[in-house]
Amino acid sequence: MPAWLKDAVFYEIYPQSFYDTNKDGIGDIEGIIRKLDYIKGLGCNALWINPCFDSPFKDAGYDVRDYKKVAPRYGTNDDLVRLFKTAHEKGIKVLLDLVPGHTSEEHEWFKKSCEEERNEYSDRYIWSDFCFAPAGIGNPYIGGESKRNGTYLLNFFKCQPALNYGWLKPQFPWQCTIDAPAAIATREAMKDVMRFWMDQGCDGFRVDMAASLVKNDDEKKTGTSKIWKNVREMFDKDYPECVLVSEWSNPELSLAAGFHCDFMLNEGGPQKPMYSTLVRDYQNHADHIVLSDGCFNGKVPVSQRPYYEDHSYFRMDSDSNIMDFITPFTERYEKTKDLGYISPLTCNHDTVRPAFGLSEQELKLYYALLFTLPGVPFLYYGDEVGMHYQSLHTKEGGYFRTGSRTPMQWTEGKNLGFSDADADALYLPVDPDGAEQTVQAQEGKKDSLLEAVRGMLAARHQYDGFKADAPFKVLHAAPKDPLLIYSRGDRIVAINPSSKTVEAKLDSTESRKAIWSVGQGTLENGVVTLAPQTAVFF
């Protein structure tokens, strides 16, 4: 386990929208390089960059056409290597996004596999042997698009054919086992891609749809896990300082399979969704809310918010039950703490931004929890200033997700400092009402969200109790009680999202000073007292 993860806080960058330095309206790698000091100053010391490789961008780059080439719109391979170098000089690690489950239909491997004549890539994807035979039962497939007499399996959108890592239990002659030469060739090709970038300074990968590799896998993902264990062996042997973060959301399986960290999202795993009990997952409502009434872009006054029923914990007086989070989280944590880390995230490029449902004060409390939970947290660009979810039509396969992918808000004035291009040339429009959610507007302002984030991350780095693997213990949590108190090593965190002053007695008589807070709270003679909407680190 690379030691740097203990103190790592990641910053996720959607490169399209971060910072444009060549006035073409789209972010670039040079833009990331120029903002490294800002990221460091925020308290983040690692990056996850969404796919920045050559692609037709039908799924924002998750449809890779060439794994070894930076998309020209972001710059060159040399620029990316310069980013690794400059980031390292500043003590920042860089993770790229690896999409191992599928390529673009424009990838050379796929084009070759479509050919009638058998060749080296014929089995790189999963093809049936007849144009009317489904490539797999229950899996989406496409026919009629190639000279090759067969149909091929998809992994996500139509533009993303599934790579062939084999089947746990093949049912048809064209389905191979995970130990077959074709499946091994795919795995080795993906390892070659990883080596290509790690040899040039990349510090590892966030792995897209990590659980999706082996088809018809069992519940325990036996086949897929075998592949990742093999990959992890390569990491341990040749790249011991590099890390693998999975988009899997089942740490019991993913960490056992060799991942160092696994994202905490809602899908996957036997437990009922736990994450959306903290902050409501608006995913299934975003299209409806945005496109039908067009009025809600995250700035609805608090008084009008009940229109959107939201019983998440961080919504003030939402009548939530924190046990819906604490019980499954603690269980998962106990089961996996010796294997690797759970990674909480403020949100990501696939979800609705938290500012959609939470006020600025609520966001501060939400982040105070995320950044002090055990594990390795991720901050999505712009969440540190409370960027809003926008009401937008789809771009590059984003659909409802597009609203969370708008340009970073740096300054007041032209394009909120994102780009010097004409406004209508921008990748996506900037928030027309975003002037207050900019770095410039919040920098140095005592009560701003940005400064709160800086403060809590500074505390995280300062005290060993907040490191990724410091022990986590719940000290106070009860159904229908807003007050949550837990310890991390020798530190104590107390959070009260409600509008009332709350109090709880701990199993001790100690008194402590606050080391960081939003709002007012005390710990005296074993009694924690918190004012409304407060979070305190003791």
Report how far residue 420's alpha carbon sits from residue 241's, in angstroms, rounded to the nearest whole number. Answer: 38
Kindly state the DSSP code that residue 386 receives in the 8-state scheme: T
Toward ligand NOJ, which CB reaches closer, 209 or 514? Answer: 209
CB of 533 to ligand NOJ, least distance (A): 32
According to the binding rule CB under 6 A, does residue 310 interact with ligand NOJ?
A: no
Q: Which two tokens stand for residue 98?
A: 């690896």
Q: Tell the smallest beta-carbon distance from residue 156 to ligand NOJ (Å).
A: 4
Evaluate whether 332 touches 252 at the Cβ level (below 8 Å). yes
| Residue in 54, 59, 97, 247 annotated catalytic | 247
Using CB under 6 A, which of 10, 14, 156, 314 touches ligand NOJ? 156
Q: Is 59 in the site for ligand NOJ (CB under 6 A)?
A: yes
Find the shortest distance in angstroms from Cβ 471 to ligand NOJ.
31
Query: Residue of minimal CB distance from ligand NOJ?
Result: 62
Kindly state the DSSP code that residue 390 receives in the 8-state scheme: P
In the complex, least distance from residue 240 CB atom to ligand NOJ, rounded to whole angstroms: 27
* C-beta of 156 vs 314, nearer to ligand NOJ: 156
User: Which residue, among 533, 536, 535, has the nearest Cα to 302 in the 3D structure?
Assistant: 533
Residue 262 within binding range of ligand NOJ, rule CB under 6 A: no
User: How many residues sit in the footprint of ligand NOJ (CB under 6 A)?
Assistant: 9
Residue of the chain from 36, 99, 210, 528 that contacts ligand NOJ (CB under 6 A): 99
Site string for ligand NOJ, 391-420 (x = CB under 6 A): ------------------------------
- Helix 449-462 / helix 360-370 crossing angle, nearest 10 deg: 10
Residue 57 as a binder of ligand NOJ (CB under 6 A): the answer is no
Contact by Cβ (8 Å): 467, 489 = yes
Kindly give the pairing relationship between strand 243-246 and strand 204-207. Answer: parallel
| Nearest-approach distance from CB 60 to ligand NOJ, in angstroms | 6
Nearest to 265 by CA among 370, 133, 388: 370
Residue 371 structure tokens: 């950044």
Q: Which is nearer to ligand NOJ, 213 or 316 (CB)?
A: 213
The DSSP bridge partners found for residue 494 are: 485, 536
Place of tokens 């680190």: 537
Quick one: which of 24, 106, 287, 350 contacts ligand NOJ (CB under 6 A)?
350
In the set 12, 123, 208, 217, which binds ligand NOJ (CB under 6 A)? 208
| Residue number, 28 or 208, with CB nearest to ligand NOJ | 208
Nearest to 339 by CA among 229, 231, 241, 465: 229
CA-based R_g, the chain, Å: 24
DSSP assignment string, 396-409:
TT-GGGGGG-PPP-
Cβ closer to ligand NOJ: 96 or 495? Answer: 96
362 has catalytic annotation = no
**Of 345 and 439, which has the nearer Cβ to ligand NOJ?**
345
Tell me the per-residue interface mask from 210 to 249 with ligand NOJ, x by CB under 6 A, - otherwise.
Answer: -------------------------------------x--
Would you count residue 20 as binding ligand NOJ (CB under 6 A)?
Answer: no
User: Under a CB-based contact definition with an 8 Å cutoff, are residues 292 and 285 in contact?
Assistant: no
Alpha carbons 113 and 148: distance in angstroms, whole number: 8
Min dist. Cβ of residue 349 to ligand NOJ (A)? 6
Cβ at position 528, least distance to ligand NOJ in Å: 38
User: How near is the Cβ of 88 to ligand NOJ at its closest, in Å?
Assistant: 26
Nearer to ligand NOJ, 194 or 494 (CB): 194
Distance of CA 437 to the CA centre of its chain: 21
Binding flag, residue 62, ligand NOJ (CB under 6 A)? yes
Supply the DSSP symbol for 123.
T
- For the question of residue 247 being annotated catalytic, the response is yes
* Residues 477, 323 contacting (CB under 8 angstroms): yes
Tell me which H or E stretch contains 518: strand 516-518
Using the rule CB under 6 A, is 209 a contact of ligand NOJ? yes
**Which 3 state secondary structure label does DSSP give 248?**
coil
Q: Which of 12, 97, 105, 208 is catalytic?
A: 208
Q: Is 313 in contact with 325 (CB distance < 8 Å)?
A: yes
**Helix/strand/coil for 232:** helix
Q: Give the residues lining the site for ligand NOJ (CB under 6 A).
A: 59, 62, 99, 156, 208-209, 247, 349-350
Catalytic machinery residues: 208, 247
